[in-house]
Chain A
Amino acid sequence: MAEAEKIIEIEVLRYRPEQDAAPVAQRYRVPFTDDMSVLQGLQYIKDHIDGTLSFRWSCRMAICGSCGMMIDGKPRLSCKTFLREFHPAGLRVEALAHFPIERDLVAGVDDFIVKLESIKPYLIPKESRSLEQGEYLQTPHELEQYEQFSSCINCMLCYAACPQYGLDSKFTGPGVLALLHRYNVDSRDGGREQRMQLVNAEEGVWSCTAVGYCSEVCPKAVDPANAVNLNKVNSAKDYFLRFVRPRKP
């Protein structure tokens, strides 16, 4: 016996710069099954109802970080969110908050990319090392110091969650600062001093007011709030001890 077809209403905030002065809501009625994600719902709309709908996606399995958007007002990955959660009331979908809308559900992420590049997101060796010395050895405990922060998939949900970033986009932001911390606490890295200048700035950790919503929404449990706020202690230590610590020549 065939299951009665279930329909859910998806309200999408549309924006086509060539024809819309401002974003406008459009409703679609989408047939769905319990195993369908919001992303699949959007794909259904694009394939069968309205081919003009624009949205980003790639892996469909919560690892590429492309499909972040606001689903009923919360920053979520559309591939990891299921339509059944919103039945029968329906759901509202809009582009990731705190970023400019380029088109429909596509947010302009240029600022995030610039910031990502600014923190030297790569291992800066403590001292030069030859091939003959072999690979770096790292204990499980040393790995544990940074592994959590290395799980970031650059999905920017934390930026959509962070009101301080929304109020002032000069703030470096949770995800980028978590990545900065990932490198600082990696035993192979010696670039902490170089990254401190960014940490110590107003745009660094000092724009954060410990709202903590970034860590709530992170799909990979990176806990950026922790990375940012513990670096307030590091920054304060750097501020007060700079007069007593001898400067490197």
Chain B
Amino acid sequence: MSARRPYMRPMRGWWRRDPFFVRYMIREATALIVAAYALVLLAGVLCLAQGEAAWNGWLTQLRSPVSIVLHVLMLAVMIYHTYSWFEIMPKTMPALFVGGKRVTATTITMSGLAAAVAAAAALLALAWMLRP
């Protein structure tokens, strides 16, 4: 008769046990803001389809102080999404070699962040060129 009685420890609260896990959960939580912004844009496109009055209503909502504050918070979270996205991106890539040397994860992350800055600048420049 075996005297073994293996004990399983509960997983409840696992992510609160280490700062690494907390940062992971924050990274995952950025999706809530990506969803929120997509819904803001959905509201916009629905209003656009309904006509000028509806669209102007949506624009008025965007001008409210609450909306501005929320968008500033969404901007901060979006920026963290960008950072955390390129931080984890190297893990999805096979070993890259340039000039016989292994490309480091840091190099890949920095390149991604540089691309993000360039994309943001390009978008702003495009908007600027298309201004009324």
Max count, chain A CB within 10 A of own CB: residue among B5, B15, B17, B93:
B5
In the complex with contacts A166-B11, A230-B91, A213-B6 CB distance below 8 A: no
Q: For residue B91, which residues in chain A have a CB less than 8 angstroms away from its CB?
A: 210, 212, 215, 223, 225-226, 229-230
Q: Does A97 contact B (CB under 8 A)?
A: yes
Question: How large, as a class, is the contact surface on chain B?
Answer: 20 to 34
A100 CA to B5 CA in the complex, in Å? 9
Main secondary structure on B side of the interface with A = mixed
Contacting pair A163 B11 (CB below 8 A):
yes
Contacting pair A145 B17 (CB below 8 A):
no
What's the minimum C-beta distance from B106 to chain A, rounded to whole angstroms? 14
Contacting pair B5 A17 (CB below 8 A):
yes
Q: For residue B4, which residues in chain A have a CB less than 8 angstroms away from its CB?
A: 17, 102
8 A Cβ contacts from A9-36 to B: 15, 17-18, 22-23
Question: How large, as a class, is the contact surface on chain A?
Answer: 20 to 34
Which A residues form the contact surface with B (CB < 8 A)? Answer: 15, 17-18, 22-23, 73-74, 97, 100-102, 108, 141, 144-145, 163, 166-167, 209-213, 215-216, 223, 225-226, 229-230, 232-233
Which B residues form the contact surface with A (CB < 8 A)? Answer: 3-9, 11, 14-15, 17-18, 20-21, 24, 28, 88, 90-95, 97, 102
A-B contact pairs, 8 of them (CB 8 A): A74-B18, A100-B6, A100-B7, A145-B95, A166-B11, A211-B20, A213-B20, A230-B94
